Amino acid sequence: MSYDVAGREWVPILIAMHLKDIIMNTAPVLPNIVNATPQGIKPAFEPVITSDRHACLLGAIATISATTLEDVFGQAEQLGLPKVGPYFHSLHEEFLIKLLARYGWVSTVWKECSKTSELPDLSIGLIDYHSELEMGRAVVIHRAKRSDDGKPVVYAIEVAANAPVRVRSDPEAVTPAWYLGIHPMNLSSTSKK
């Protein structure tokens, strides 16, 4: 297929329109109802279990982004995560915000937390926090309505390889020392002329 000069001017616009449709159709969604029965909760996000004890932040991102841990590592490496050797020092706040944005999520800065009522509907929290080392185990924390009775529930999804339980809803286990608030990126063009 060939285009004349006038036709070629439209190609970038058509490509941009197509890409906008792809992005709009793959924007993340924050579930507001979680399947629940008297026996327990089925998380709205499928846990992506890490293979080592240091990848829980990346596992949490993979969990909320519904992708693989390998994909998150690949995206992280494109942002500068070392391919070999220690990498935990690279997972600072600014890096995590950029990595989450690659999956269509917006993140707050790290915020201290003392009770679950301070948490947004979705967050990555640090539990079992060691204040001297400034390290903890990352979990996905989700607030939603129960499907069985409509009451709100806050639960944590454990992604660490050695986690004793995958889904926890007891308030003390769910309350992190620090958290990143997460919400879907607004990809629609809503500017008014």
Residues of the domain holding 91: 31-184
Average pLDDT over residues 184-193: 62
More confident call, 9 vs 41: 41
Q: How far is CA 109 from CA 106, 112, 130, in A?
A: 10, 10, 19
Q: In this predicted structure, what is the pLDDT of residue 89?
A: 80
In a domain, 17, yes or no: no
Residue in this structure with the two tokens 């494109």, named with its chain if needed: 78
In a domain, 6, yes or no: no
The CATH code of the domain that includes 45 is 3.90.70
User: Long-range contacts of range 32-38, CB-CB < 8 Å, 24 or more positions apart?
Assistant: 32/121, 32/144, 32/145, 33/144, 33/145, 33/146, 33/147, 34/142, 34/144, 34/145, 34/146, 34/147, 34/153, 34/155, 35/147, 36/146, 36/147, 36/148, 36/149, 36/153, 37/148, 38/148
In a domain, 155, yes or no: yes
Domain count, the chain: 1
Average pLDDT over residues 19-33: 65
Q: In this predicted structure, what is the pLDDT of residue 170?
A: 85
In a domain, 135, yes or no: yes
In a domain, 157, yes or no: yes
Amino acid at 38: P
In a domain, 192, yes or no: no
In a domain, 14, yes or no: no
Per DSSP bridges, beta strands 33-37 and 135-146 are parallel
pLDDT band at 22 (very low <50, low <70, confident <90, very high): very low
d(CA 137, CA 57): 8
d(CA 50, CA 68): 10
pLDDT digits (tens, 9 = 90+) for 93-152: 999 999 999 999 999 999 999 999 999 999 999 999 999 988 899 999 999 999 999 999
Report CA Rg, the chain.
19
pLDDT beyond 90 at 10? no
Q: In this predicted structure, what is the pLDDT of residue 26?
A: 64
